Chain A
């Protein structure tokens, strides 16, 4: 991937993680990865490994917090959940994306009326 694409990708990945956590509640890394793949309709074929640096970044920025817990199979796993700042960030990012897509849509739509 080129440098630019990587940045854009990292930005969207962060939003996808946050949104997933908002909808699903606390989840471990594997679960988040699986969920993102599902939600995107399996259109995104990503390396799960790219998730972990992104999770770390979000944790450093204070949008998510991590805690070790037990999965359904009683396996130890690190669970992530949204913080309050994270929730606010989700709203903000969502709004910003909606605006962007609206503007682009106008450009891409055929000239009408």
Chain B
């Protein structure tokens, strides 16, 4: 392997070059001396002897050069030379360098920001060993007509059967995610947690860093009051005390012993969030016959080594099939699905589409930046034409020159990218603080950060960008005929023509890209503005809301729940800050529960075809407090209790859907007719207005309200109409609740307006981002057009001078330049519009529920771009107009 040895020797030759040079010098001079001595001995005279010796050697410098090339790796040396030279060049033209670096910083920084989000939300795998081997098993609802089958939770009996019968998994576990009230500190807190089987830790293959996980025998009632906490919860509640094992923590009023702390960073996202875990003890009901219908568990499983997802999927589907046949009553038509945890979380987060749009937008911004830079470089290189021609004349190859130019571009790009990183860092920080519309979003925000992956991405992107914007100018400049630039007066001739054609092409491309981008972002901004301007359908200002989920054995009875909430409502309505108070199971703008329904007089062929409706439990004061208008009939009163005739109030959408033009009052419906206490026939006693839940994008959902007194539940929202600023009443609200029971946690304390904006799930964030990127792109496009036109006009100074001398009016020159410039803008706009026509449909197809898309974006974008383009043309045009003909003519 002599070549390997040689290569290493050459790498070594990169170092200590000076001393090696001296050694070579010594060797060569000794060679010459010896030759001279021989020549002298042969009879030549000293001068001749030396001359012959040198001739025979064949050129000392040449020999040295060949030797040097052999000694080290020329590629690396020339690259280092290029870098050094490039840095000098960049320093010599600070204006160009500054513009280029800023443009790159903006473009690359924007991409880095978006990639941080994509990396955190879509790409990062769950923090468990071999994350691709952890699966989520779901039951699959029987397909209903055209709707795709939904994945759903799993029942306890199904889980046990799956675990017994399947052979693809090394471990399988069930989990019930819920919220809990915990009390280790003085005030009760509401925290997400999960009841899990002991095998959960096996399935994840992550075990407590402190203490231990559950044992199988702890999955029984009586032995299950043990808890494993997450690292964060341990820090928060116990201050990170290492002696926490064995201490007690109140969970829903009961005392649990802390037996383990999970390692830092163990965190599942989305609906699998939990800050602590307790053993899962299935209720007896869920373990017998009809309990197979209660689907509430999430099932995790780790694949056995050697088994792949596909096999596991087929096997589980087959098992589900068998169960469907054996237990027709509960499982008919139900299937199963196995999906990796990562894929499941991604699908769950609904972030994919939005992120794809963001990535596309920001990619376009970078493209626009690159065309800007390509133009800039073409202009700048024309000034260096002489330098390149001389180098060509001295023997530099075309490739060598192009390499040097590309190296300059890469340096620029790396500097720009380097500056873009702190920009991205700041942007990500700002973004994270806006990810706050619900618990899910808060969890998502923790995942978004500028980490190692993102930095590598930035470096790679910088280099790719450099190649993208550098290749055209490099090839154009390096492939010039070597004669050009060396002769005087050769300005503007043939080289100028190709170059300015290229530059004009780049401007057109830039304008087209900008238009496309503007239309796209404009659509999002338009949607958002629509949302903001839609009225919500009730008086949402001056409303304070909060939620209470009753926890504790005392509240298992419906009576106790009713007492609690009615007491709280009374206290709230007597507060001095409150004008009125009410209770509801769901706030307006939140997704209500949905129940099956049978409408009297509209029978359906099969139980599966029964329609569904939104179902809300409300106290009598609900409509008065929220200001939802009651259009027909009456509201609930104190007389509507569990013992009296069941009544409901429906909204307009419901009346339209189920009764059409007929009178809804007096009609009867049966809620959840599958059985249970709810299956009584209820009379419709009132019709209320629709809440404009989808802000005009979709038809409102049918909803049905029942009185709280006849349907008490343990989780209710408190709604208070305040006389002044709602947030001023928060303390009073808390006191009112805790006066009734100080162990209950109050959550989601916010104003109704905030709740509405939270429900938009980040639309405002998305439009804000799109808007910012559009502005950046617009700015870059303006700079680009301005820059190129200034340059082109500058090239034509001579021509302008002649025109003026021949009698042209300055205004004609102005007109000429503006016409030329606007021609480019026009061409670009036209091209861009052509491609933009597809955008409205693309956006509508990707985001469900968007039906009304105006075309304002398609009209506004070209107008804005034309205006910007005009302004960008104007300044160079004015400069052209002011050219002194004598100066121009003299200046060759």
The residues of A with any CB-CB pair to B shorter than 8 Å are: 28-31, 34, 47-50, 52-53, 56-57, 59-63, 71, 73, 75-78, 85, 89
Contact A56 B67 (CB under 8 A): yes
In the complex, B34 has a CB within 8 A of chain A: yes
Give residues 1-30 of B contacting A (CB, 8 Å): 2-3, 5-6, 9-10, 23-24, 26-28, 30
Given A48-B57, A49-B57: A75 and B70 interface contact (C-beta under 8 Å): no
- B862–chain A nearest beta-carbon distance, Å: 57
Contact B58 A48 (CB under 8 A): yes
In the complex, what residue of chain B is closest to A56 when comparing beta carbons?
Answer: B70
In the complex, B66 has a CB within 8 A of chain A: yes
Additional 20 contacts, C-beta under 8 A, given A30-B31, A61-B5? A28-B34, A29-B27, A29-B31, A30-B34, A31-B34, A48-B35, A48-B56, A49-B63, A49-B66, A52-B28, A53-B63, A53-B69, A53-B70, A57-B6, A60-B9, A60-B70, A62-B5, A73-B37, A76-B26, A89-B2
Contact B9 A76 (CB under 8 A): no
Given A60-B10, A61-B6: A49 and B34 interface contact (C-beta under 8 Å): no
In the complex, what residue of chain A is closest to B71 when comparing beta carbons?
Answer: A56
In the bound complex, residues from chain A placing their C-beta under 8 Å from that of B24 are 52
Q: Which of B26, B56, B71 has the largest count of A CB atoms less than 10 A from its CB? A: B56
In the complex, B683 has a CB within 8 A of chain A: no
In the bound complex, residues from chain A placing their C-beta under 8 Å from that of B30 are 28, 30, 75-78
0/1 string, B103-125, CB within 8 A of A gives 1: 00000000000000000000000
In the bound complex, residues from chain A placing their C-beta under 8 Å from that of B37 are 73
Given A60-B5, A61-B2, A61-B6: A48 and B71 interface contact (C-beta under 8 Å): no
- B44–chain A nearest beta-carbon distance, Å: 16
Query: How far is B35's CA from A50's CA once the two chains are assembled, in angstroms?
Result: 16
Given A49-B66, A61-B6: A75 and B34 interface contact (C-beta under 8 Å): yes
0/1 string, B797-815, CB within 8 A of A gives 1: 0000000000000000000
In the complex, B763 has a CB within 8 A of chain A: no
0/1 string, B24-64, CB within 8 A of A gives 1: 10111011011101100000000000000000111110110
Interface pairs (26), CB distance under 8 Å: A30-B30, A30-B35, A47-B58, A49-B59, A50-B58, A52-B27, A52-B63, A52-B67, A53-B66, A53-B69, A56-B67, A56-B70, A57-B6, A59-B9, A60-B6, A61-B2, A61-B3, A61-B5, A62-B2, A62-B5, A73-B34, A75-B33, A76-B26, A76-B30, A78-B30, A89-B2
Query: How far is B34's CA from A71's CA once the two chains are assembled, in angstroms?
Result: 9
Query: How far is B57's CA from A40's CA once the two chains are assembled, in angstroms?
Result: 18
In the bound complex, residues from chain B placing their C-beta under 8 Å from that of A34 are 38
The residues of B with any CB-CB pair to A shorter than 8 Å are: 2-3, 5-6, 9-10, 23-24, 26-28, 30-31, 33-35, 37-38, 56-60, 62-63, 66-67, 69-71
Query: How far is B63's CA from A15's CA once the two chains are assembled, in angstroms?
Result: 20
Query: How far is B90's CA from A113's CA once the two chains are assembled, in angstroms?
Result: 77
Contact B6 A49 (CB under 8 A): no
Query: How far is B3's CA from A53's CA once the two chains are assembled, in angstroms?
Result: 15
Given A53-B70, A57-B70, A76-B26: A48 and B31 interface contact (C-beta under 8 Å): yes
Query: How far is B63's CA from A49's CA once the two chains are assembled, in angstroms?
Result: 5
Contact of B62 among A49, A56, A75 (CB under 8 A): A49
Contact of B56 among A29, A47, A60, A73 (CB under 8 A): A47
- B71–chain A nearest beta-carbon distance, Å: 6
Contact B66 A63 (CB under 8 A): no
In the complex, what residue of chain B is closest to A63 when comparing beta carbons?
Answer: B2
Contact of B27 among A47, A57, A71, A78 (CB under 8 A): A78
In the bound complex, residues from chain A placing their C-beta under 8 Å from that of B67 are 52-53, 56
In the bound complex, residues from chain A placing their C-beta under 8 Å from that of B69 are 53
Q: Which of A50, A60, A78 has the largest count of B CB atoms less than 10 A from its CB? A: A60
In the bound complex, residues from chain A placing their C-beta under 8 Å from that of B60 are 49
- A52–chain B nearest beta-carbon distance, Å: 5
In the bound complex, residues from chain B placing their C-beta under 8 Å from that of A30 are 30-31, 34-35
In the bound complex, residues from chain A placing their C-beta under 8 Å from that of B70 are 53, 56-57, 60
Query: How far is B3's CA from A60's CA once the two chains are assembled, in angstroms?
Result: 8
In the bound complex, residues from chain B placing their C-beta under 8 Å from that of A47 are 56-59, 63
In the bound complex, residues from chain B placing their C-beta under 8 Å from that of A49 are 57-60, 62-63, 66
Query: How far is B6's CA from A61's CA once the two chains are assembled, in angstroms?
Result: 5
Query: How far is B62's CA from A83's CA once the two chains are assembled, in angstroms?
Result: 29
- B231–chain A nearest beta-carbon distance, Å: 56
- A51–chain B nearest beta-carbon distance, Å: 9
Query: How far is B30's CA from A63's CA once the two chains are assembled, in angstroms?
Result: 23
Query: How far is B27's CA from A75's CA once the two chains are assembled, in angstroms?
Result: 11
Query: How far is B58's CA from A43's CA once the two chains are assembled, in angstroms?
Result: 17
In the bound complex, residues from chain B placing their C-beta under 8 Å from that of A56 are 67, 70-71
In the bound complex, residues from chain A placing their C-beta under 8 Å from that of B71 are 56
Query: How far is B63's CA from A23's CA once the two chains are assembled, in angstroms?
Result: 26
In the bound complex, residues from chain A placing their C-beta under 8 Å from that of B34 are 28, 30-31, 71, 73, 75, 77
- A69–chain B nearest beta-carbon distance, Å: 11
In the bound complex, residues from chain B placing their C-beta under 8 Å from that of A59 are 9
In the complex, what residue of chain B is closest to A76 when comparing beta carbons?
Answer: B30
Q: Which of B2, B59, B69 has the largest count of A CB atoms less than 10 A from its CB? A: B2
- B711–chain A nearest beta-carbon distance, Å: 90
Query: How far is B2's CA from A53's CA once the two chains are assembled, in angstroms?
Result: 16
In the complex, what residue of chain A is closest to B34 when comparing beta carbons?
Answer: A30
Q: Which of A34, A57, A59 has the largest count of B CB atoms less than 10 A from its CB? A: A57
In the bound complex, residues from chain B placing their C-beta under 8 Å from that of A76 are 26, 30
Query: How far is B34's CA from A103's CA once the two chains are assembled, in angstroms?
Result: 42
In the complex, what residue of chain B is closest to A52 when comparing beta carbons?
Answer: B67
Q: Which of B23, B59, B67 has the largest count of A CB atoms less than 10 A from its CB? A: B67
- B419–chain A nearest beta-carbon distance, Å: 42
- A77–chain B nearest beta-carbon distance, Å: 5
In the bound complex, residues from chain B placing their C-beta under 8 Å from that of A57 are 6, 70
Query: How far is B69's CA from A62's CA once the two chains are assembled, in angstroms?
Result: 18
In the bound complex, residues from chain A placing their C-beta under 8 Å from that of B2 are 61-63, 85, 89
In the bound complex, residues from chain A placing their C-beta under 8 Å from that of B38 are 34
Q: Closest 4 A-B residue pairs measured CB to CB?
A: A47-B58, A49-B63, A60-B9, A61-B2
Query: How far is B35's CA from A85's CA once the two chains are assembled, in angstroms?
Result: 31
In the bound complex, residues from chain B placing their C-beta under 8 Å from that of A75 are 30, 33-34
In the complex, what residue of chain B is closest to A45 when comparing beta carbons?
Answer: B56
Query: How far is B668's CA from A21's CA once the two chains are assembled, in angstroms?
Result: 114
In the complex, what residue of chain A is closest to B26 when comparing beta carbons?
Answer: A76
Query: How far is B10's CA from A53's CA once the two chains are assembled, in angstroms?
Result: 12
In the bound complex, residues from chain B placing their C-beta under 8 Å from that of A89 are 2
In the complex, what residue of chain A is closest to B38 when comparing beta carbons?
Answer: A34
- B66–chain A nearest beta-carbon distance, Å: 5
In the bound complex, residues from chain A placing their C-beta under 8 Å from that of B28 are 52
- B84–chain A nearest beta-carbon distance, Å: 26
- B8–chain A nearest beta-carbon distance, Å: 8
- A54–chain B nearest beta-carbon distance, Å: 9
In the bound complex, residues from chain A placing their C-beta under 8 Å from that of B33 are 75
In the bound complex, residues from chain A placing their C-beta under 8 Å from that of B66 are 49-50, 52-53
Q: Which of A49, A61, A71 has the largest count of B CB atoms less than 10 A from its CB? A: A49
- B60–chain A nearest beta-carbon distance, Å: 8
In the bound complex, residues from chain A placing their C-beta under 8 Å from that of B6 are 57, 60-62
Query: How far is B32's CA from A77's CA once the two chains are assembled, in angstroms?
Result: 11
Query: How far is B37's CA from A71's CA once the two chains are assembled, in angstroms?
Result: 12
Query: How far is B60's CA from A29's CA once the two chains are assembled, in angstroms?
Result: 14
In the bound complex, residues from chain A placing their C-beta under 8 Å from that of B57 are 47-49
Query: How far is B5's CA from A73's CA once the two chains are assembled, in angstroms?
Result: 35
In the bound complex, residues from chain B placing their C-beta under 8 Å from that of A31 are 34
- A40–chain B nearest beta-carbon distance, Å: 15
In the complex, what residue of chain B is closest to A61 when comparing beta carbons?
Answer: B2
In the bound complex, residues from chain B placing their C-beta under 8 Å from that of A29 are 27, 31
- B52–chain A nearest beta-carbon distance, Å: 11
Query: How far is B12's CA from A59's CA once the two chains are assembled, in angstroms?
Result: 13
Query: How far is B6's CA from A85's CA once the two chains are assembled, in angstroms?
Result: 14
In the bound complex, residues from chain A placing their C-beta under 8 Å from that of B10 are 60
In the bound complex, residues from chain B placing their C-beta under 8 Å from that of A53 are 63, 66-67, 69-70
Query: How far is B35's CA from A48's CA once the two chains are assembled, in angstroms?
Result: 10
